[in-house]
Amino acid sequence: MKVLVPIKRVVDYNVKIRVKADQTGVDLANVKMSMNPFDEIGVEEAIRLKEKGVATEIIAVSVGPQEAQETIRTALAMGADRGILVKVAHEVEPLTVAKILAGIAKAEGPQLIILGKQAIDDDSNQTGQMLAQLLGWAQGTFASKVTIEGGKAEVTREVDGGLQTVRLNLPAIVTTDLRLNEPRYASLPNIMKAKKKPIDEKSPSDYGVDPAPRLKVLKVSEPPKRKGGVKVKTVQELVEKLKNEAGVI
């Protein structure tokens, strides 16, 4: 079984984000970039399926600038077999990514696509669902456990009320939640081997997709700073502040 794992290059989760002075976006100059943590979980899950003998080939895919090749190399060092980089210089919207991934899926013919439920830069949580619709495949979102057996995928997903288990016919889309697994660290020998693994470079036009953005960012600003708390002497004073100042009652 072939498994496709889309991954995204994002600002490292340990980095404190800085907004540009002109409020046109986030300052990326001299900022550490890394693989989206949810996508890293997806790579790990695909590797575990291969170790169990369920998956035969893992393809890591990224849509972004040339630098995203480094992110693919990380996935290859973890255990992916080969990579595909679809080069786009500017920020790509979720629908465009989904269309490109749909084109790759039709070309490669995977039985399973595992991707992060969302990216930590835009928090859109859209690509997996859009991809399932474009392909007409079953989907299991927010997965905390995945079992593949008998041509079906059993996915335990996290919902507001607890856990829900769904059974999907393959091919299927699975989006990962934090509790699915803990990604491994790439060993030095595997990092060296990853340098020799192939990465195909493509463009959106190869899949008949126009990457031009449909949305325009008007302004990016930092959230308002949190004000310090105050002490009240009586319950009546507390109620008055909640009613008149906070406006919550």
Domains in the chain: ranges and CATH: 2-246 (3.40.50.620)
Among 72-81, 136-145, 164-173, 219-228, the least confident range: 219-228
Residue that wins the pLDDT comparison between 245 and 106: 106
The model's pLDDT over 11-45, given as tens digits with 9 standing for 90+, comes to 999 988 888 888 888 888 888 999 999 999 999 99
- Which phi and psi angles does 12 have, rounded to 5°? -55, 140
| pLDDT confidence bin for 57, thresholds 50/70/90 | very high
- Per-residue model confidence (pLDDT) at position 2: 95
- Per-residue model confidence (pLDDT) at position 28: 84
The C-alpha atoms of residue 221 and residue 99 are separated, in whole angstroms, by 30
- Structure token pair of residue 63: 């849509």
The model's pLDDT over 128-187, given as tens digits with 9 standing for 90+, comes to 999 999 999 999 999 999 999 988 999 999 888 889 999 999 999 999 999 999 999 999
CA distances from 242 to 120, 228, 229, 232, 233 (A): 33, 15, 12, 11, 14
In the predicted structure, residue 205 carries a pLDDT above the cut 90: yes
**Prior bond to 189 cis, omega within 30?**
no
Are residues 207 and 104 in contact, defined by beta-carbon separation less than 8 angstroms? yes
In the predicted structure, residue 85 carries a pLDDT above the cut 80: yes
In the predicted structure, residue 52 carries a pLDDT above the cut 80: yes
